[in-house]
A and B are shown apart, each in its own frame.
Chain A
């Protein structure tokens, strides 16, 4: 129930005797004085948008460790030699989008606009809140230092508005000991995947540790996997560029496959449980063998050490495998392209070159980026990376993934990187209705097509690189 609660009992009667003496208007003037004093004091404490001498950066971090690391090894390092310093204001991950939106719509907001992917950045770009970054591409040589596809999703109508900060992909994580115990191998195609899941379920083991209790949009991780590995990157590319409608059979089949697997209880144990599974518990299940696999992004590298091994008080280990092919339409091996974070510059920023300088700092120096990868599993931006750049302490499994990822020749498209914003929201929200049986895959796809076509028509969509030769 809400905030104010009170009741007027019809009880109280005046106390017997005379009214008690109270300090006079003194009490009122005291209050008035307090209020005035407080106003003065407190307004002095806060200014409209922080110190205007420094550049304002709003960011959310997955953990205190990462926040710490970023502050010490990136922010402080930059500020030591910067002409214009950058001030960080940490926001809760769940609220930062809303805060940014509110601030920007009121004409305020920080100098750096962080988003959880190019798709989300589009919201700000389409509203004209971001500055054009093209002049700085030549200054800093981004088209050479960054991977060829990297600048594409940040472009709208040919102009560059956001820079990618985290290069990610999707993978399948598992506990080798659990696999050994049950005689399993990482699946490579749908048949093997089905067999493993069915076997796990029959033994009371959760086939895929999945859940969206902590992050409602997690459903789009799994949807991206089904689209890329069951429908295939080529149809997805065609749909994203408007050549193929989302109502095509290949997509309906992919969505149906996802829905069927959910209903069979493979993802999260059951549909109901999927909605309440928290990541803490899911990781725990991987450790103790009550879950077989987890399909997630490479951001998981940051979480795993906290649950596996000495630091967590057990001797469990983890490993990763390439995602299986989920239908004969799709190619056997696809690496889903994801940009997990982008920064744009506020169009109202008064110090554009200084801001661009900081952005450049964040996407340069592969060694520093990879040191971050080794220490706190912070994914690097899509830079060209050579073997020598990897820090000595890098986890070999992590290194193996990024090496293979870089060498890939076929990429898939994640919904938070290459889709327009409203379609992305529709994708994961309406999917909940599909898996609970409240709507059909067909109507889901037609609703998606309707929305996507509208966004495509306005041209407010990210530029999409073709599936091959893009990496």
Chain B
């Protein structure tokens, strides 16, 4: 009997060859090794790093984190990042979800053309827009404003999220929606009560992807945010690279601080994502 384990993987009732574990472990070392070294470096002093570049720290210099936190004003930075990320994700899901529904289900005329357009738009370089956007934003009053940045992210990340969610929606049989429509539901209700609960992995993926992008993005932020108290953590790095020299221990500490929230969020969301996908798989067989 072939079935799916709770991890969603096909069980062929054959023991996994040892070389698979070896190869997988090597890849894991490749993926995590550098970050481990980085973590080590965040706990060293500058002279410690010079003498011991890769190994574990001799004493644990927790002070680095405190210094990094205060010097780069990371509490404000994290708060601003939170605002930017949540604003971006909320907006992108609404915009992309509606648009995807229109393209997948509502029979939008010229869908192919729209898709091509969206694809092309996701392939345009941001540098092209920086100056004209700045010009416009200063006049509308969106310069040096977190919401101004959020709007830019909405426009940048929605096209791709739309295509993504649309493809999830295409997998859904139309019969559900037909039933709801015949019961008298309006389109918005159909979207929210029928389609949404079934394509939520797509929404989740779109949320994860655009949230991550918004969190790590720095070109737009550096250009459109002026006041230090509005800067998100992505730019905190630059405060350690002022002038001509860099302090690597502080950079490592700041990097760890910056990494932490996304990592934790990912670890939490990741399981639900997997659950969602694998439960679909269960229904599939």
Contacts and interface: CB of A to CB of B under 8 A. Distances in A.
B198 A19 contact: yes
Interface string B265-285: 000000000001101110110
Given A6-B160, A19-B197, 17 more contacts: A3-B156, A6-B164, A10-B171, A11-B284, A20-B197, A24-B189, A48-B144, A49-B144, A60-B243, A62-B243, A90-B228, A93-B242, A105-B135, A107-B138, A214-B241, A214-B246, A303-B244
Interface string A63-96: 1101100000000000000000000011011110
A64 B168 CA distance: 50
A8 interface: yes
Given A14-B176, A31-B94, A42-B147, A4 B122 contact: yes
Interface stretch (B29-37, B108-116, B219-227): B219-227
24 contacts: A4-B213, A8-B167, A13-B284, A16-B283, A22-B193, A24-B192, A27-B192, A34-B90, A38-B87, A42-B83, A43-B142, A46-B148, A48-B141, A48-B143, A50-B226, A50-B227, A64-B239, A66-B243, A89-B228, A105-B135, A107-B135, A214-B244, A280-B247, A280-B248
Given A6-B160, A64-B71, A49 B242 contact: no
Interface centre among A16, A28, A106 (most CB of B within 10 A): A106
Contacts of A7: 164, 205
Contacts of B227: 46, 50, 89
Size category of the B interface is 35 or more
Nearest to B237: A92
Contacts of B147: 38-39, 42-43
Interface string A23-56: 0110110011011001100110111111000000
A11 B201 CA distance: 11
Given A50-B226, A280-B248, A15 B198 contact: yes
B283 A3 contact: no
Contacts of B85: none
Size category of the A interface is 35 or more
A396 interface: no
Nearest to B122: A4
Interface in B193-250: 193-194, 196-199, 201-202, 205-206, 209-210, 213, 217, 222-223, 226-228, 230, 235, 238-239, 241-248
Contacts of B66: none
A98 interface: yes
Contacts of A63: 242-243, 245
B131 interface: yes
Contact of B283 (A15, A99, A280, A303): A15
B168 A8 contact: yes
B259 interface: no
- Does more than half of chain B's interface fall in helix, strand or loop, or is it mixed? helix
A19 B223 contact: no
Contacts of A440: none
Given A9-B277, A24-B193, A61 B198 contact: no
A64 B242 contact: yes
A313 B48 CA distance: 12
B138 A108 contact: yes
A118 B245 CA distance: 24
A315 interface: no
A393 interface: no
A92 B138 contact: no
Contact of B143 (A3, A19, A108): A108
A360 B279 CA distance: 72
B176 A6 contact: no
B223 A98 contact: yes
A306 B188 CA distance: 64
Contacts of A214: 241, 244-246
B199 A12 contact: yes
A361 interface: no
A148 interface: no
A275 interface: no
A3 B171 contact: no
A215 B244 CA distance: 7
B146 A45 contact: yes
Interface in B138-168: 138-139, 141-148, 150, 156-157, 160-161, 163-164, 166-168
B132 to A, nearest CB: 9
A279 interface: yes
Give me the 4 closest cross-chain CB pairs, A-B, nearest first. A62-B243, A8-B167, A92-B238, A46-B145
A95 B139 CA distance: 22
B58 interface: no
Interface string A356-378: 00000000000000000000000
B50 interface: yes
Given A48-B138, A48-B141, A214-B245, A28 B94 contact: yes
Nearest to B8: A11
A126 interface: no
Contact of A14 (B94, B164, B173, B281): B173
Contacts of B27: none
Given A14-B283, A280-B248, A94 B241 contact: yes
A278 interface: yes
B130 interface: yes
